[in-house]
Amino acid sequence: MNTVTKLCILASCLTLVATTALAQTKSAPSVPNIAQIVALEAFTTFNDLFAKAAAGTPDPNWDFEPDTIRIKQGTVLTVADEGGEPHTFTEVEKFGGGFIPGLNSGEATVPECVGGFSNLAVAKTRILQGSHLEVTNLSKGEHDFECCIHPWMRTKVIVK
């Protein structure tokens, strides 16, 4: 046989061996996929909610997620309330306490939350259970938002 024929036969044999090895690898039992389950407890009695806030350790299960978000200018920010209680998503100059003193963890009420729902600016930011609020026309820069009811619920929005 000439050299070219031998090389063709050798290449065919190598291809056959590689294909067989690959098929055996694919049919071998594989490691099972791993699934993770995370349980988040959002239920807290009002007594516990007030007690934790008074101790300076507000319930971490009551939170806005993410804590910080970066968006482009012109983006519509949608805030959904998927919990069982109403909240506000109120822009504040500086984070602080809300309009329920017992939930403020010792912080003074921020000016934007003073008056609670009798303050029209706060009332406009209320989000009821199962609803959402749209925030539009945010200028470039950093914007701080908090719940004026549960003031440890905070988000920083960075607009580029």
CATH code, domain with 147: 2.60.40.420
2 occurs within a structural domain: no
Both tokens of residue 22? 């690959």
Q: In whole angstroms, what is the distance from residue 18 CA to residue 11 CA?
A: 11
| Per-residue pLDDT at 17 exceeds 80 | no
Tokens of 62: 């009551």
* Residue 23: per-residue pLDDT: 47
Q: Say if residues 134 and 77 touch (Cβ distance below 8 Å).
A: yes
User: 33 lies in a domain?
Assistant: no
Confirm whether 40 is domain-assigned.
Answer: no
Let me know if residue 130 belongs to a domain.
yes
Half-sphere exposure of 143 (CA within 13 A, CB side): 20
Q: Residue 24's pLDDT is what?
A: 46
Please report the pLDDT score of residue 43 as a whole number.
63
In the predicted model, what is the mean pLDDT of the chain? 75
CA distance linking residue 154 with residue 151, whole number of Å: 7
Domain assignment present for residue 140? The answer is: yes
Residues 6+ apart with CB under 8 A from 50: 102, 103
Cβ count near 109 (within 10 Å): 18
What string of DSSP letters covers 47-61? HHHHHHHHTT---TT
Average pLDDT over residues 57-78: 83
pLDDT given for residue 123 in this prediction:
95
pTM (predicted TM-score): 0.69
Domain residue limits at 124: 58-159
pLDDT of 108 reads: 96
More confident residue, 149 or 10: 149
Rounded mean pLDDT, 120-127: 93
Residue-level pLDDT at 42: 55
Domains in the chain, number: 1
Residues in the chain: 160
Residue 35 has pLDDT above 50, yes or no: no
Q: pLDDT per residue over 79-121, tens digit each?
A: 888 777 888 999 999 999 999 998 898 899 999 999 999 999 9
Poorest-confidence range of 3-7, 15-19, 35-39, 156-160?
Answer: 35-39
Two tokens at 46? 């009002």
